[in-house]
Amino acid sequence: MLACAPFAGAVHAADAPDSGDTARTLDSITVVAEREPGNFDLDRGEIELTQASDLSDLLSNESGVAVGGGSPVAQKVYVRGFEDTMLNVTIDGAQEPAELYHHQTRVQIEPEFIKSIELDAGAGAATQGAGALTGAMRVRTRDAFDLLRPGQDTGFLIKGAAGLNGGNSSKGVLAGYGRLSDHLGVLATYVYQDGGDYEDGHGDRVKPTAFEHERAQFKLSGVFDAHRFDLSAEHLDDTGTYYERPHMTNFTGRYILSDHQMRRDTVSYEHRFDPEGDAVDARFTAYRIRSSYENRRNTTGILYSWGEQTSTGMDLRNTSTWDALSLTYGLDYRGDRLHARQQATPPPFWGRTEQTARVFGAYAQGHWTLSPQWTLSAGLRYDDYRHEGKSGVSAGAKNSQAKASPNASIQWTPIEPLTFRLAYSQAFRGVTIREAFFSALYTHRGDLDGEQADNLEFGVSWEKDGYFARATAYRQRIENYISAVYDGGAAWGYWENIGTAKVEGYEAEIGKRWQRMGVSVGVWNSDNTFNDRPLNDADLGLGTSIGRTWTARFDWQPASQQANYAVRARLVEDERNSIAPSAPDKPGYAVVDVMANWNLLGDDRLKLGAAVNNLFDRFYYDHGTYGYQAGSGRYIGFPSPGRELSLSVTYRF
């Protein structure tokens, strides 16, 4: 939760080595919007403390967020009840647009070398990027200067980790880093994780959920007076043997095990130029991403489906400041190309596709301090989309549309501890490439309208003497939502505008921070509907209904500053299941996680970490998991893992 972010930074400051490079102050980036509850910023200390190995470990205890799926490869992120397919996700500035296969996530994140994760929920500032219908999540990774200790020119990191649950899991981490000169640093990392089939809260083995994960990265960083750059190359590889839909059991009795492989290769370059003076603070980002998947029958090796999407993009922006005014303005571009094939349907409907899409955007976001009591922020984006079917099931189809997206917010502080904020934003996403598997099955006619989101928020915050209380109420609509619709005629189906999605909800938190301790309690609730009916688990790609969620946090660091201890808890209330009139409610559940780490040698060279997730071994289905199916009258999704003990040892030298 946001309110704990300042405290978490203080607690973990002892764990963050100072590289001794004064030029590191270039890391600061201007933020033109006040953070509200639900807009969090996870730092490196929090990530290490949670012993995070996947998305659920990272995000499940954050306000406004749910993670469902079971196996890490099938996990999906829900922000205010909407799927991450409508969320702009960037890693080191590189946008991750590729949707691959069913419930397998495009948000492939390896926690080991993440520096921070920021989430701005809801359509917002123009700087969020093109098509940010439900907000933006920005992931930053570490570099050599982040890992080097004072006075150190070269270093190595070795880490071993284990998760004790069911078939257990193990992870090995290697990293080498150093200074090539006073201004250049290089980092090379490798991570391998072998995860076994886990056990649920009843002690039953959940199969098939085992996986293998590999991640490698090379990063060259430079700091030269007013210039700073990062050149990064990253490779991710996930493999496993699952049923046709990796987030579901073999509920039909005829699903065939398939060998699944997902890969992502990213090359990105970021350059920052921040000379003395207020007129120029420029940043340029360029990237190329290739994401692919392949599913083959486990018994025969016959192809079930395959897809590869490449994305090439750039973002050029500058921030100028004049006394009470700060203005960020820039241009961005992304071009996508998809090749996909599916042989999952009866042979007459086997299909393939080649599609291209591009979006060009121009934007500006201003932030004015009108007086000590009043602050105004306003911005505008203009995005031009072009989509074309080159061959296969959508050959010859073309979609194009351009639209402006304004936003404005005003903040009033009548007395120093109390602040009110009112914000309205729009976001536009034109027709672009959708899920690779469905793109080889469903046809484009070329007559689609782009999706249009608007978001209205009201927030209030109060903070004094370490006590804080914050709340946000929001209402958002997404019009012209695009989805695949089954036809059953000459074509299997078509992409169509099928209606309007809405969400109304609130988030709130209260707490207290001391020098070495912090506590907070929060609640969030989102009522999501589509065409005036509640969302349910069958609304794949859009979202689902999630029960009102209560969260609690406790953090403590002893006076020695050589350890950190924390408790995270969440209570999710029952939620009515609208998937069928006879469907039972989604059952509520309560989960408690405890975690700690220790610096064993009095500094950060040797660190021991431990966490117990689901301490009381509760059996439950996360509300973000496809649970009950009306047709079978059964729960066909995977239950969440039961109690798991995670241990890690990290040595830096």
pLDDT tens per residue, range 576-625? 999 988 899 999 999 999 999 999 998 889 999 999 999 999 999 999 99
d(Cα 15, Cα 562) in Å, to the nearest integer? 9
d(Cα 257, Cα 280) in Å, to the nearest integer? 56
| Residues paired with residue 451 on neighbouring β-strands, in sequence order | 429
Mean pLDDT (10-residue bins), the chain, 653 residues: 40 40 34 51 88 86 87 85 93 91 76 92 94 94 94 96 94 97 96 95 94 96 96 95 87 86 96 95 98 94 95 98 96 98 94 97 97 96 98 96 97 96 97 95 94 97 96 97 91 95 97 96 97 93 95 96 96 94 94 96 92 96 90 88 96 95
d(Cα 272, Cα 144) in Å, to the nearest integer? 17
d(Cα 334, Cα 515) in Å, to the nearest integer? 45
- Take residue 131 and report the two structure tokens written for it: 């098509």
- Looking at residue 81, the DSSP 8-state letter turns out to be T
CB atoms under 10 Å from CB of 597, counted, come to 24
- Take residue 623 and report the two structure tokens written for it: 């509300």
Give the 3-state secondary structure of 364-411: EEEEEECCCCEEEEEEEEEEEEEEEEEEECCCCCEEEEEEEEEEEEEE
* Domain encompassing residue 55: 2-652
| Residues paired with residue 612 on neighbouring β-strands, in sequence order | 594, 645
CB under 8 Å, gap of 24 or more: what pairs does 157-162 form? 157/650, 157/651, 157/652, 158/650, 158/651, 159/112, 159/648, 159/649, 159/650, 159/651, 160/648, 160/649, 161/51, 161/53, 161/609, 161/646, 161/647, 161/648, 161/649, 162/646, 162/647, 162/648
d(Cα 405, Cα 454) in Å, to the nearest integer? 9
Please count the residues of the chain: 653
R_g (Cα) of the chain, nearest Å: 24
Closest Cα partner for 125 from 329, 454, 407, 458?
407
Specify the pLDDT at position 17: 40
d(Cα 461, Cα 175) in Å, to the nearest integer? 42
DSSP letter for each residue of 403-426: EEEEEEEEEEEEETTEEEEEEEEE
Helix and strand numbers (H, E) in the chain are: 5, 33
Specify the pLDDT at position 382: 98
Looking at residue 479, its amino acid is E
| Residues paired with residue 420 on neighbouring β-strands, in sequence order | 412, 460
On whether the CB atoms of residues 148 and 182 are closer than 8 A, the answer is: no
On whether the CB atoms of residues 566 and 556 are closer than 8 A, the answer is: yes
Sheet holding 135-141, edge to edge: 41-43, 114-121, 135-141, 88-91, 94-95
Specify the pLDDT at position 33: 36
Specify the pLDDT at position 384: 98
pLDDT above 90 covers a percentage of the chain that reads: 79
Q: How many structural domains is the chain composed of?
A: 1
Domain CATH for 571:
2.40.170.20
Cα-based angle 530, 534, 539 (whole degrees, multiple of 5): 65
On whether the CB atoms of residues 250 and 243 are closer than 8 A, the answer is: yes
On whether the CB atoms of residues 597 and 566 are closer than 8 A, the answer is: no
Distances, alpha carbon 229 to alpha carbons 89, 150, 269, 373, 453, in Å: 21, 21, 7, 38, 34
On whether the CB atoms of residues 454 and 425 are closer than 8 A, the answer is: yes
Specify the pLDDT at position 110: 85
Distances, alpha carbon 400 to alpha carbons 328, 388, 390, in Å: 27, 9, 15
**DSSP-derived pairing of the beta strands 88-91 and 135-141:** parallel
Specify the pLDDT at position 54: 83
d(Cα 192, Cα 213) in Å, to the nearest integer? 6
- Looking at residue 436, the DSSP 8-state letter turns out to be H
* Helix, strand, or coil (residue 154): strand
**Segment 69-103, tens digit of pLDDT:** 777 777 889 999 999 999 999 999 999 988 898 76
**Any idea which residue has 């689901």 for tokens?**
614
Burial class for 473, CB neighbours closer than 10 Å (0-12, 13-18, 19+): middle
d(Cα 220, Cα 590) in Å, to the nearest integer? 44
- Looking at residue 641, the DSSP 8-state letter turns out to be B
Run of H or E residues at 256: none
- Take residue 188 and report the two structure tokens written for it: 């090379």
- Take residue 366 and report the two structure tokens written for it: 């201003």
CB atoms under 10 Å from CB of 651, counted, come to 14
On whether the CB atoms of residues 144 and 219 are closer than 8 A, the answer is: yes
pTM for the complete prediction?
0.90
Closest Cα partner for 128 from 336, 475, 426, 411?
426
Specify the pLDDT at position 29: 31
Closest Cα partner for 241 from 201, 301, 308?
301
On whether the CB atoms of residues 285 and 314 are closer than 8 A, the answer is: yes
CB atoms under 10 Å from CB of 221, counted, come to 23
Specify the pLDDT at position 24: 36
- Take residue 642 and report the two structure tokens written for it: 């039961």
